[in-house]
Amino acid sequence: MQENLVIVESPAKAKTIEKFLGENFLVKSSYGHIRDLAKKNLGIDIEHNFLPEYIVSDDKVKVVQELKSLVKKAKVVWLASDEDREGEAIAWHLSEVLGLDSSKTKRIVFHEITKDAIQNAIKNPRNVDLNLVNAQQARRILDRLVGFELSPLLWKKVKPSLSAGRVQSVAVRLIVEREREIMAFQQTSSFKVSGIFEPNAKEYQLKAELDKRFDGKAQAQDFLQRCIGASFSISNVDKKPGKRSPAAPFTTSTLQQEAGRKLGYSVSQTMTIAQKLYEAGLITYMRTDSVNLSDTAIKAAQKAVVSMFGADYHNARQYKTKAKGAQEAHEAIRPTYMENSTIEGTNQEKKLYELIWKRTLASQMSDAITEKTTITIGAPSLAEKFIAAGEVVKFDGFLKVYKESADDESAEDEAEVLLPPIKVGEAQNAIEISAIQRYSQRPPRYAESSLVKKMEELGIGRPSTYAPTISTIINRGYVIKEDRAGYEREFESLILKKGKITEKLSKENYGAEKSKLFPSDIGMLVTDFLSEYFGNIMNYDFTAKVEKDFDVIAEGKLKWEEMIRKFYQNFHKDVEQTMENSTPTKGERTLGVDPKTGKVVSVRIGRFGPIAQIGSSDEEPVYAGLLKGQLIETITLEEALKLFDFPRNLGEFEGKVVQVGIGRFGPYVKHASKYVSIPKTDSPGEISLERAVELIEAKRKADIEKVIQIFAGDPEIQVLNGRFGPYIAYDGANYKIPKGTDPKLLTADECVALIKSQASTVKPKSKGKAAAKKSSEKASTKKSATKAKSTAKTTAKKAK
């Protein structure tokens, strides 16, 4: 029997540590926090000095039970949760819940999982730091107060089931404000001039840009005119050495950004894949804000760099974490074994691993040495000058393995330009000089990863919450992640060639978006509402400010109850006053008058989303839902009136009417009481009968392909092709087909057997939402279905 029980937060970590500690230590995991504020009411007794009511979380009851029994058998309990505010609180909750006697309890910390670090920790135990615990309690209670007082305000004044919080509401604000910047953006254009030059002997060509742009076409034209007959020559050559340094090893946020930019992963995808790598022991912990590498890792990287590229390429570096509010409980994200440049696993896992491996390796490599050459070309008759710039990498250093990507996709990829040896004074002939109209760029919309970057800069949210926060604001309908088609615009070019200027009008596409975050009407409405009445909480500095208070509490120089009281006094007063004085808001906006009826046209948020309305509410108005991408804030009268053209008859097909309409899920074509969605690339206002028939036929084909098998004896049982591959549908529920089974060869009897062997994985279609959520566990596989779960299962079945 082990005399020592060590409790860490993560089970994967427990496994590793057990190996380092030897037989006399049993290492278990708490699976994160084990207790939280009670969910009913506030979970905080405001009358009694904000006394928190903590309850063991449902999914932790078993964990706590097991730990309790192990504690009884142990002589010493080592609380080894993470070395940060939350970790300290976990240690404290554990000692409270497990009833740990301080004489047999020791608190230890380490922020790297190496044998030395852990044995060192065991040699230097301390007590739970109650000041740090109190700082966590203040954080927790503040978040609960803000979330549970603001959300009900929104239910009452805006719409039920909405939510507000210190983190999510500010994240939404970022997206809303960016959208408004884009709305307010005034596009301007100017003429950018570039030239291609060649010396008399024609041994090379130089592409150079003019040092100024022209606002108008006339000026550009005038300049090209002045270039005719000008005698160009090299007026200056300037060489400057430069260097580039590698980026720091990955934190959660930078990993999410680079995986998004380089691999196209969403933030939550990146985290799921990283979790797999972590559990397989391939990388260190993936939720971290630290760029720190352990000495062991730095040495391993050195070995790898030197053996692969030679000593010249190595440069040991230790990076400093700059992120606001970083707690640095863990190392940076790095491979556990630097010698593994690739791994076994899925393609996605391999790619993410290689990204991490390269980034880590590069962080321990030499700077790249470059040389920048700037060549100036001028003519005596011209005040303006052409500049050709080139950069040559003299020594590649870390660039051999890794180059960081940029968010700004418009930043032209500065390809390496090798400039020929050039003498000052050498005459040049202008082969071609062109002036091209270029537009100013609007601010970019946020992608998931650039939002995370911004949040980290502001100190809002933590590595463990970036991905869930994005899910929350999308699920609440505040934000929509989608693609948008771009627009076409014209631009002019003036080209001087062989002494003649020609003009050209061309078209280009701009503004197309892929997987970007757009605010919804409700997101804008809630942001405005909260900003009006709770400016302090919506302030980008709010988190940073309260963090300062938490730090003072952690130092023992401020009582947490004092801090909370001071905050709550004003906050609660604002909540009460807003509840009383503000009028419910639907974001209503009047657009004008309908020329047909003379009635007022307005838009607002209705029960099922944004709607347009003709006529005021006391004169039997007509309604139409807004289309995807349309906003209450920006829709025009003309666009709104178009919405009332639906449903519209397009004509007949196979003797039945073809209709185009707009439903809850967007525009659709209806034919013979069947519906087909109209893809985004088509405009429902202009769709033709031919196109509609095309869609109907495509849908029919897809429906046929959907059915793999139907059995003559049992028409109830169907083998279908779904989003996740083939499955069996029977009696409104769906069943899995085991891997390796050919769905085409299944017999009816085999299907029945599969149906019987699997508890229904689905959904009484009625109202049993809560029940459906908890139901379904494959009875056969998992070793012990808990009692609670099996009861839930029967309820779910009955609910049907």
Partner DNA sequence: CAGTGAGCGAGCTTCCGCTTGACTT
Active-site hit among 285, 446, 668, 735 = 285
Nearest to 738, CA basis, from 722, 755, 762: 755
Give the tokens for residue 503.
């003009």
Contact with DNA (CB under 7 A) among 106, 157, 453, 476? 476
**Which of 26, 71, 86, 132 is close enough to bind DNA by CB under 7 A?**
86
Instruction: Note whether 619 binds DNA by CB under 7 A.
Output: no
Q: Which of 164, 332, 433, 447 binds DNA (CB under 7 A)?
A: 164
The whole-angstrom separation of Cα 609 and Cα 605 is 5
Is residue 463 part of the contact set for DNA (CB under 7 A)?
yes
Binding residues for DNA restricted to 648-667, rule: CB under 7 A: 661, 663-666
How far CA 65 is from CA of 30, 220, 360, 722, in Å, comes to: 11, 79, 41, 41
Q: Which is nearer to DNA, 443 or 725 (CB)?
A: 725
Q: Shortest approach of DNA to residue 322 CB, angstroms?
A: 18
Binding DNA by CB under 7 A: which of 62, 104, 394, 778?
A: 778
Q: Could you give the 3-state DSSP secondary structure of residue 506?
A: strand
Give the one residue of 64, 611, 632, 746 binding DNA; rule: CB under 7 A.
611
Q: Is 152 in the site for DNA (CB under 7 A)?
A: yes
Does residue 675 have an active-site annotation? no
d(CA 201, CA 692): 63
Q: Applying CB under 7 A, what is the total number of residues that bind DNA?
A: 89
Q: Which is nearer to DNA, 398 or 542 (CB)?
A: 542
According to DSSP, the β-strands at 4-8 and 76-79 are: parallel
Burial of 92 (0-12, 13-18, 19+ CB in 10 A): buried
The dihedral region occupied by 77, where left means phi > 0, alpha psi between -120 and 50, and beta the remainder, is: beta
Binding segment toward DNA, per CB under 7 A, in 201-209, 217-225, 309-317, 454-462: 454-462
Structure token pair of residue 494: 């003036």
Q: Is the CB of residue 303 less than 8 Å from the CB of residue 310?
A: no
Q: Which residues between 281 and 300 bind DNA (CB under 7 A)? A: 285, 287
Work out which of 608, 712, 740, 780 binds DNA, going by CB under 7 A: 608
- Helices 347-363, 295-309: axis angle to 10 degrees equals 90
Judged by CB under 7 A, the residue of 18, 96, 143, 371 near DNA is: 143
Among 341, 761, 790, 795, binds DNA (CB under 7 A): 761
Q: In the range 490-549, which residues lie near DNA by CB under 7 A?
A: 543
Rule CB under 7 A: choose which of 28, 106, 157, 166 binds DNA: 166
Q: How far is the CB of 536 from DNA (least distance, A)?
A: 15
Distance between CA 42 and CA 146 in Å, rounded? 11
Q: Where are the alpha helices (DSSP H) in 615-661?
A: 637-642
Interaction between residue 790 and DNA (CB under 7 A):
no
Q: Which of 762, 790, 795, 800 binds DNA (CB under 7 A)?
A: 762
Q: Find where tokens 């990388």 sit.
A: 283
- Identity of the residue, 43 or 125, whose beta carbon is nearer to DNA in the bound complex: 43
* Distance in Å, CB of 760 to DNA, minimum: 8
Q: Binder to DNA among 23, 411, 638, 724 (CB under 7 A)? A: 724
Which span (121-129, 415-423, 444-452, 770-778) binds DNA, by CB under 7 A? 770-778
Residues 308-337 binding DNA (CB under 7 A) are: 327
Q: Which of residues 209-268 bind DNA (CB under 7 A)?
A: none
Contacts of 151 (CB under 8 A, 6+ apart): 162, 163, 164, 165
Q: Which residue lies nearer to DNA by CB, 197 or 285?
A: 285
Interaction with DNA in 24-53: which residues (CB under 7 A)? Answer: 29, 31-33, 36-37, 39, 41
State the pairing for strand pair 648-653/656-663: antiparallel
Nearest CA to 256 out of 356, 169, 346 is that of 356
Bridge partner list, 98: none
Asked if 243 and 344 touch (Cβ cutoff 8 Å), the reply is no
Secondary structure of residue 576 in the 3-state scheme: helix
Among the candidate windows 82-90, 312-320, 339-347, 387-395, which touches DNA by CB under 7 A? Answer: 82-90
Read off the tokens for 771.
Answer: 């029940």
Cβ-contact 207, 194 below 8 angstroms: yes
Per CB under 7 A, contacts with DNA among 690-709 are none
In contact, 772 and 762? CB cutoff 8 Å: yes
- Which of the stretches 96-104, 484-492, 595-603, 730-738 binds DNA when contact is defined by CB under 7 A? 730-738
* Residue ranges in 667-686 that form contacts with DNA under rule CB under 7 A: 668, 675-677
From residue 414 to residue 433, the character string flagging contacts with DNA as x (rule: CB under 7 A) and all else as - is --------------------
| Candidate list 111, 462, 586, 671; residue touching DNA; CB under 7 A | 462
552 residue type, one letter: V
Q: With the CA atoms of 178, 179, 184 and 187 taken in that order, what torsion angle do they form, in degrees rounded to the nearest 10?
A: 90
- Distance from C-alpha of 19 to C-alpha of 22, rounded to nearest angstrom: 6
Torsion of CA 66, 71, 77, 80, to 10 degrees: 10
For residues 245 and 464, which CB has a smaller minimum distance to DNA in the complex?
A: 464
Residue closer to DNA (CB basis): 78 or 735: 735
CA distances from 105 to 5, 71, 137, 146, 753 (A): 10, 10, 22, 35, 53
Please state the closest distance from residue 195 (CB atom) to DNA, in A: 53
Task: Provide the mask over 168-207, with x wherever binding to DNA is found by CB under 7 A and - wherever it is not.
Answer: xx--------------------------------------
Give the catalytic positions in this structure: 285
